[in-house]
Each structure stands twice: as C-alpha cells, then as structure tokens.
Structure 1
Amino acid sequence: MLTSLAAVAAGLALLMWSADRFVLGTARLARAAGISPLIVGMTIVGFGTSAPELAVSTLAAIQGSSGIAIGNILGSNLFKIPCILVAPALIAPGTLPDPLMLWRDIPLMIAVALMLYAVAAGLRGRPLQIGRIDGTLLLTVYAGYTLILVLSAPAA
C-alpha cells in the first residue's frame, strides 16, 4: 500500500513537472513563430493534454468497451470545462484574450456537445452508438474548426 502511494505521488510530481515544461516550451514556440499564445493553447496544448484520454478511449473501443470510451470522453470534458476555467480564475482573475471566444468558440463547443448527443442518442432510429461515419463527421468538424482558428488568429 505504501509503495502504491509513493508511486502515485511520484507520478503526480512527474506529471506536474512535465506539464510545466510542456507549457513553457509551447509558449516559447509561439513567441518564436509569431503565433498567438491563444492559438497554441487551443491547439497544441489542448491536444497534448487530451492525448491520454484519446489513448484510453481508443484502447477501450478496441477492446469493445465503448461505454468506457464514451464515459471517459464525457467525464473528462465535464471535469475540464468548469475546473480548468474556474480554478485559474479563483487564483488570479483575468480577462478573455479575445472576445471572439464568447461569440464563436463557446457556442461552437456547446453545438458540438449537442451534436455528439444527437449522434449517440440514436436520433436516426438506431441504438445508442457512435459509428465510423459519426466519428468522421465529428473529426471533420474538429479539423475545420482548427483550420478556421489558425487562419483567423492574430499574430503574437
């Protein structure tokens, strides 16, 4: 038991250290490339921090545990949205770097969540599932959004 707790503590410490290095490195990359830090945060850092969920969900889907895959995705997002937006604001209140976030990005996040619900809820007369066509549709929306985000980004 003590060994397990030590391993969890060591893993958490290593995770915090590596996350700090990752954020510093991407911020440096953004400055060097003249890219808005907001864009780097929403793309590179966002993908990098979601990679573990992707790995777990992919492995669960391969093993036929689609409930674990979908629960991991939904649970992760339900945790990340309020906690990651609220916790930093409690520590150091700030302003949105781009008001467009309120009018484009947040409504799009809600629309994609509703689209995921519509796809998973079987609104097309089939059982609860997300198939290849649904996944392709959601991935295409993500790719299009990322492209729009990068093309409309102001320089750093």
Structure 2
Amino acid sequence: MWLHALLVAVSFLILFAGAEMLVRGGSALAIRLGLTPLVVGLTVVAYGTSTPELLVSLKSAFAGQPDIAVGNVVGSNLFNIAVILGISAVILPIRSHLQILRWDAPVLLAVTLLAPLTFLDGVVTRTEGGVLLILAAAYTIWAIRLARREGSNVEVSDDDAATVAKPGLAVAAVLIAAGLGVLVFGSRLLVTHAVEIAQSLGVSEAVIGLTIVAAGTSMPELATSVVAAFRGQSDIALGNVLGSNLFNLLFVLGGSALVHPVSTSGITLLDLGAMALVTGLLVPFLITGKRLGRLEGTILLATFAAYLFLMWPRG
C-alpha cells in the first residue's frame, strides 16, 4: 500500500519533469514560428501540459478501465479551472485578452455543455470520438489563424519572448522528444499504482480518476500557470488552462473513445454539473473587469472544496 502511494507521488514528479521539457521545447519552437504568447498558451503549452491526461486516458482505455479514462478528463477540467486558475488568481489577478472574452472562453463553455451529450447512452462511441477529434483539429486551426490575424494588437515583451524561446531549434526538438518519452513512462506508473490503491481501499476507479489521477496529470498545468502568474504572463497562464480543457474534452476524450468505446457509467450528474458550474462561473468572472481577481479565485477554490465534500462518500 505504502509502496504504491510512494510510486504515485514519484509519478507526479516524473510527469512534471516530462511536461516541463515538452513545454520548453514546444514553446521555443512556436515562438520561432511567429506565434504570440496567447496562442502559445492556448495551443503548444496547453496541449503539451495536457499530454499526461492524453496518455493516461489512452492507457486506461486500452486496459479496459473506462472510469479512469473519463474521470481523468472531467476531474482534470474541474481541477484546472477551480484549483489552478483559483490559485493563480489569488497569487496575482489574471488579465483577460480580448480574444479570450470574444471567442475562447465562450467556445470552452459551449464544448463543456455539449461534449457530455455523448454520455447520454452510457458510452462514448468511436463515431462520437471521431467527431470530437475533428472538432479539436478545427478549433486548433481556427485559434492559430485568429491569433495571427489579431497578433498585431498583442504586444510581446522582449523578456517574455526570451523566457519562452531561449532554446535553439535543435535543443527544442530534443526537449520535445525527451519530454514525450518521460510522460509515457510517468503516465504508466501513475495509472498502475493508482488502480492498486483504489482496489486496496475499496474506492471506485471513477473517484480515483476524478481526484488522484486528475490532480496528478494536472500538475504540469498547475506549475506552468502558477509560474506564469508570478511572472505576470497572464496570456500564458489563462490560455494554458482554457486550451488544456478544450484539449481534454476533444482530443483526450475523443482519442480514448476512438481507441476503444468508453463507458461513462461511473460519472454522475454531480461530476458533470460541477465541471459545467466552474466553467460557467469563469466566463462572467473574466468579463467583469476583464480579469480574474483574488475574490473570484477564492470562489473557484471554495467551489472545488464543496464538490469534494459532496462526492467523496461515493468512494
């Protein structure tokens, strides 16, 4: 039991290290291709830090553990907004870019409300997974084009560019490859020993996926957004979370279902309602004053605490 707990903790560190390498390499490559910090946050950084969720859910789908695969997606999205943005906003209020107010936040809210419709028959089929992946690709292309079109209105400081783009192209490629390899190893370690803990404690795989696995795979997002908040890089901090949540609902859920139809029987209305609630709160919070302040961050953290209080007896 204690050995499994220790290995889960070690897997968190491995995932963090792998995501750090992947984000550094991917961000450097993106900046050199002329992308702004906002689109880097929404795409390269967001998708890079969400790679653990993708790998964990894919492995769970292959292993016939659908509750962990789906619970990981729903739990990560809850954790990303309520905890990561909550903590980041408490550290330093996060400014909201006009593109996020006009497009990205409303798109995330729409996807958060519509994607769970695939849960209605108790399974996300391969066809539904394929549709989600098509939507993911369409959003990514659209976000990059939109950001480039509006890029002239976004100022990028020399310090920010230097921070993100320091590695050269060769180093960036090595970091990306090494980061992916480390993430694959870390994801396998996390799922294997989290399931062992669940079985020994009699806790359902759905609860483990919604809490321990979700929090573990969200550690890269937490580190990235908190560091960005400390550095005043609000575009990356906010874009990282919004992009990660879209990636989880479209790429991760879609990819898992494409690998193997995913049962959603372990996910309740409380879980989906909590995910919709924190996403629904985020949009007006961002519109009010065009920033996420300390009060709003505290409300998000309190909402997550209330969700844990309500769901934990399910174990």
* Distance in 2, Cα, partners of 1:45 & 1:87: 19
* Distance in 2, Cα, partners of 1:59 & 1:15: 15
Give the equivalent residue in structure 2 for 1:124.
none
Give the equivalent residue in structure 2 for 1:41.
41
Structure 2 residue runs of 5 or longer lacking an equivalent are 157-315
8 A contact 1:30–1:37 mirrored in 2: no
Report the alpha carbon displacement of residue 39 of structure 1 after superposing the two structures with TM.
0.9
Give the equivalent residue in structure 1 for 2:135.
141
Q: Which moved more, 1:25-34 or 1:106-115?
A: 25-34
**Matching of residue 131 in structure 1 with residue 125 in structure 2:** yes
Distance 1:117 1:14, change over 3 A: closer
SS at 2:124's partner residue?
Answer: coil
The one-letter code sitting in structure 2 at the alignment partner of 1:102 is L
Correspondence 1:16-31 to 2 at 5 A: 16=16, 19-31=19-31
8 A contact 2:118–2:128 mirrored in 1: yes
* Distance in 2, Cα, partners of 1:135 & 1:14: 29
Out of 145, 154, 178, which is 1:151 matched to?
145
8 A contact 2:23–2:49 mirrored in 1: no
Report the alpha carbon displacement of residue 89 of structure 1 after superposing the two structures with TM.
1.8
Q: Which moved more, 1:28-37 or 1:55-64?
A: 28-37
Report the alpha carbon displacement of residue 19 of structure 1 after superposing the two structures with TM.
4.6
8 A contact 2:61–2:69 mirrored in 1: yes
Give the equivalent residue in structure 1 for 2:258.
none
Give the equivalent residue in structure 2 for 1:104.
103
Report the alpha carbon displacement of residue 135 of structure 1 after superposing the two structures with TM.
0.5
8 A contact 1:120–1:130 mirrored in 2: yes
Report the alpha carbon displacement of residue 117 of structure 1 after superposing the two structures with TM.
1.2
* Distance in 1, Cα, partners of 2:64 & 2:19: 31
8 A contact 1:27–1:40 mirrored in 2: yes
Give the equivalent residue in structure 2 for 1:68.
68
Distance 1:80 1:94, change over 3 A: closer
Structure 1 runs of 4+ aligned residues shifted over 3 Å read: 7-31
Q: Larger RCO: Structure 1 or Structure 2 (Cα < 8 Å, ≥ 6 residues apart)?
A: 2
* Distance in 1, Cα, partners of 2:62 & 2:13: 31
**Matching of residue 119 in structure 1 with residue 115 in structure 2:** no
Give the equivalent residue in structure 2 for 1:95.
95
Using the size of structure 1 for normalisation, the TM-score is 0.79
The one-letter code sitting in structure 2 at the alignment partner of 1:53 is E
Report the alpha carbon displacement of residue 79 of structure 1 after superposing the two structures with TM.
0.6
* Distance in 2, Cα, partners of 1:12 & 1:114: 30
The one-letter code sitting in structure 2 at the alignment partner of 1:34 is G
* Richer in helix (by share): 2
* Distance in 1, Cα, partners of 2:24 & 2:67: 35
Distance 1:13 1:141, change over 3 A: closer
Distance 1:132 1:12, change over 3 A: closer
8 A contact 2:27–2:45 mirrored in 1: no
